[in-house]
Structure 1
Amino acid sequence: MDCSIPSSTHRSLSCNSPLCSALGSRACAKCFNAHSPDDCSSNPCILTPSNSVTHKSSTGTAIVEALALAVTDGRNPGQVKGFSEFLLSCSKKCLLKGLMKGVAGLAGLGRSNFSLSTQISTSFVSTRTFALCVSGSPSAPGVAFFGSAGPYYFLPQIDLSKTLNYTPLILNPGQPDYFINLTSIKVNGVSIQLNQTILAVDQHGFGGTTKLSTVTPYTTLHSNIYKAFTETFVNESTKLNLTLTNAMEPFNVCYNADEVLDTTVGPMVPTVDLVMNSDDVFWRIFGSNSMVRIARDGVDVWCLGFLDGEIKNMTAMIIIGGHQMENNLLQFDLEQQRLGFSSSVLAYKTSCSNFNFTTSSNLS
């Protein structure tokens, strides 16, 4: 968080406090050469915040701040409730470079005792469940629900919690991220040809896991998976009379926009199914999430929005990126260790920007 923004409610966390140690601090602000912990009693706890988009980091002071959030019944936001013991880290303003204009900080939602979702659940004594619905529009907000397993109503009064399918969340030792296990990928119902061991996950969470990452722009596949996937996608596209055109970086598979029909769920291209623990549990990706439109320099194309992660740089065999999450409701149920996913909410004639943000005075 950019702490140059004035606040009358925050206070620094002492560097010799148990909480500072629990946060993993390695230093104090003014006593790097202190001879005993007591020498740090009046100095702030120092952390190393990072920008997960640009992968840059810096040092910053750990502070305790007040946080206010609107309660909701799943239909409207209600009155604002707050708690005064929210832990966060200050950062230098330059660390926010690379983020959208107006952003004041980053909120961590991973598996941590100090993530935003965990702190909210603990403070309000609510279920350890949160849901994200990321907007596909830069001018219209999406919505996040904390401490609620539903309902989640979106205009025109559709409860998207009833559209969810579920798959287990996998604990990957030492990793704060969220992982699931895909067993196969289908394009227009056709399974891509893979050595099945590449997606196998053992009982300890090791192996061919799939990670969810809002800071990864586009779904990234291990090279062997990417090659088989794009070959199948191109083959299935020919059945829709789509012809490859020149690729546009960073993508490798593109089609002229005037050849691609439009539908309520995006451009008409082959569907992509991420198959989970059984053939009837799959996350269906329609054109709005599988394709990216590029119009520049006299070129107008739709490109397949999946990237080759090569081999050496992958932290998982598949990383599902932010573009594929847009206008999909995702529920992270940490009580039952499962992920709920809706597939594209456009199929229900709504969107993640269609939550009714009109405040209801009846909620408290």
Structure 2
Amino acid sequence: MTLDVGGDSSWIDCVNGCLFFLQACPLSTGTIGEAAQDVVSVQSTDGKNPGKVASVPRFLFTCAWSFLMEGLASGVQGVAGLGRTKISMTSQFFAAFSFPRKFAVCLSSSNGVVFFGDGPYTFLPFNTDVSKSLIYTPLILNPVNTAAVSVQGEPSADYFIGVTGIAVNEKPVALNKTLLSISKERNGGTKISTVAPYTVMEISIYKAVVEAFMKQIPRVPRVSAVAPFVTCFDARSFSSSRVGPAVPHIDLVLPNKLVWRIFGANSKVKVNKDVLCLGFVDGGDDRRTSIVIGGHQMEDNLLQFDVAASRLGFTSSLLFRQTTCSNFNFTTTA
């Protein structure tokens, strides 16, 4: 895992299969680890090019058991916590560099990037500042911690957003909307987490979305399921577009008539050369959180977490802008 940060903005280079988790605990388990301090070297950026290297002299981290890495991507050596806790990487960088309490995540199937601080966030090949395209929706604080191990009365370190509905090809999906809100028992709602490689939905929501999706493509035959996916198709059934396979788009409906639109590149997963699957996972009926937006649905979407203003900025797919999250300038020094 390679780290580079600093300046008005800062970034982490996801070169060697590193994963970034937007919650306090990477897995649904807890264990005892050893806390330590060390110097972390980070690299600044003006939002276009890497700049000078800076250091955090007393960066807190923990050494945990290797079994916590089981099930993660090949080559992962550790977990970078970006949650709301006081000792997360974001909180420590905010304190060390005194820049705005914002960070932006841009995941890719190759080289993704995380910026710490405000924009611009400029991507090649056209030097596009994608921060100008951000749409904002409130971040919601769940007053009860959803981690496997927590202190009573401690709020969740996760980032929740207020999804109010789901639509397929702009047609509303019939579902139990009470599941979309955080209940008095602090269950339900929608959170963002790259711990889940694909978006996980409570079973009734999942079935409703699949049914609505299939209604839009009634003549497209299904093929055998490929775990963990259930709804799969012959890849030759779909043409290609700038934003992936030409399939019905899926909208996460947000307050004030905003939508986070999910196009084919993020809704479909090519499991082999012949099979495309709908990239959502049935989470069962016993879920604390109704929807967990996973890493595949975030790929090539820039998400800015404005912690100070408690809002999420999102761009939807950067493929429309003829760029990707791998197109930040990782090499040229300003």
Letter in 2 for 1:268: A
Structure 2 stretches lacking a partner, 5+ long: 2-23, 144-154
Structure 1 segments of 4+ aligned residues over 6 angstroms from their partners: none
Q: 2:111 aligns with which of 135, 141, 154?
A: 141
- 2:275 alignment partner, SS class: strand
Q: 2:254 aligns with which of 253, 276, 301?
A: 276
Would the alpha carbon gap of residues 66 and 205 (structure 1) be closer, same or farther in structure 2, given more than 3 Å must change?
Answer: farther
Q: Which residue pairs with 1:175 in the alignment?
A: 156
Q: 1:331 aligns with which of 304, 320, 324?
A: 304
Would the alpha carbon gap of residues 207 and 59 (structure 1) be closer, same or farther in structure 2, given more than 3 Å must change?
Answer: closer
State, as a whole percentage, how many aligned pairs show the same letter: 47
Q: Which residue pairs with 1:231 in the alignment?
A: 211
**What does residue range 299-338 of structure 1 map to in structure 2 within 5 Å?**
300-312=274-286, 314-338=287-311
**What does residue range 1-364 of structure 1 map to in structure 2 within 5 Å?**
52-53=26-27, 55=28, 57-135=30-108, 137=109, 140-148=110-118, 150-156=119-125, 157-173=127-143, 174-201=155-182, 206=186, 208-238=188-218, 241-279=219-257, 281-295=258-272, 300-312=274-286, 314-361=287-334
Structure 2: distance between partners of 1:94 and 1:52: 12
Deviation string 1:217-266 (CA, Å, 9 cap, x unpaired) is 1111111211111110000123xx42222222221211101111111111
Would the alpha carbon gap of residues 205 and 72 (structure 1) be closer, same or farther in structure 2, given more than 3 Å must change?
Answer: farther
Give the Å deviation of 1:147.
Answer: 2.0
- 1:255 alignment partner, SS class: strand
- 2:274 alignment partner, SS class: strand
Structure 2: distance between partners of 1:195 and 1:96: 35
Structure 2: distance between partners of 1:189 and 1:96: 39
- 1:342 alignment partner, SS class: strand
Q: Contact 2:36–2:61 at 8 Å: present in 1 too?
A: yes
- 2:52 alignment partner, SS class: strand
Structure 2: distance between partners of 1:190 and 1:207: 27
Structure 1: distance between partners of 2:260 and 2:331: 31
Structure 2: distance between partners of 1:194 and 1:94: 38
- 2:255 alignment partner, SS class: coil
Q: Contact 2:179–2:189 at 8 Å: present in 1 too?
A: no
Q: Contact 1:294–1:302 at 8 Å: present in 2 too?
A: yes
Q: Contact 1:51–1:95 at 8 Å: present in 2 too?
A: no
Deviation larger for 323-332 or 242-251: 242-251
Structure 1: distance between partners of 2:233 and 2:70: 33
Q: Contact 1:120–1:147 at 8 Å: present in 2 too?
A: no
Letter in 2 for 1:266: G
- 1:278 alignment partner, SS class: helix
Structure 1: distance between partners of 2:67 and 2:180: 39
- 1:81 alignment partner, SS class: strand
Would the alpha carbon gap of residues 179 and 205 (structure 1) be closer, same or farther in structure 2, given more than 3 Å must change?
Answer: farther
Structure 2: distance between partners of 1:101 and 1:244: 31
Structure 2: distance between partners of 1:104 and 1:201: 34
Question: Once superposed, what is the RMSD of the aligned Cα atoms?
Answer: 2.0
Letter in 1 for 2:135: N
Q: Contact 1:51–1:106 at 8 Å: present in 2 too?
A: no
Give the Å deviation of 1:102.
Answer: 3.9
Structure 2: distance between partners of 1:227 and 1:93: 36
Letter in 2 for 1:212: I
Give the Å deviation of 1:322.
Answer: 0.8
Q: Which residue pairs with 1:21 in the alignment?
A: none
Q: Contact 2:199–2:296 at 8 Å: present in 1 too?
A: yes
Would the alpha carbon gap of residues 196 and 60 (structure 1) be closer, same or farther in structure 2, given more than 3 Å must change?
Answer: closer
Give the Å deviation of 1:294.
Answer: 1.7
Structure 1 stretches lacking a partner, 5+ long: 2-49
Q: Which has the higher contact order (CA 8 A, sep 6+)?
A: 2
Give the Å deviation of 1:354.
Answer: 0.3
Give the Å deviation of 1:359.
Answer: 3.2
- 2:114 alignment partner, SS class: strand
